[in-house]
Amino acid sequence: MTITLPPALDALVVKKMATGLYDDAAEVVRDALRQMEARESALSWLKEEATRGFEELDRGDYVELDREGFMNHFRARRQVA
């Protein structure tokens, strides 16, 4: 597979390789794709949780939480997913 990048993205790949974390351009691209997949997965999970939450609100099935309680609940549900 051959990929042609615009100059700005090509420069970014070269910059990432210069850090020493990547041996070649293919590693940079693989890492970028893995991160993109992880971000899309997290976003999909968040959308599902939001939908579920709005459905629960519509049914009146909810508990009010302060910020700390919300964050603890959110983290616990994220770990299960």
pLDDT digits over 18-64, tens only?
999 999 999 999 999 999 999 999 999 999 989 999 999 999 998 88
In a domain, 3, yes or no: no
Tell me how many domains the chain contains: 1
Tell me the C-alpha distance between 60 and 54, whole Å: 10
In a domain, 61, yes or no: yes
In a domain, 73, yes or no: yes
In a domain, 19, yes or no: yes
In a domain, 25, yes or no: yes
Single pTM value for the model = 0.69
- In this prediction, residue 54 carries a pLDDT of 95
Domain that holds residue 76: 9-80
In a domain, 20, yes or no: yes
Q: How far is the CA of 21 from the CAs of 3, 13, 58, in angstroms?
A: 21, 11, 49
Q: What is the mean pLDDT of residues 58-71?
A: 91
Which residues contact residue 81 at a Cβ distance below 8 angstroms, ignoring those fewer than 6 apart?
Answer: 45
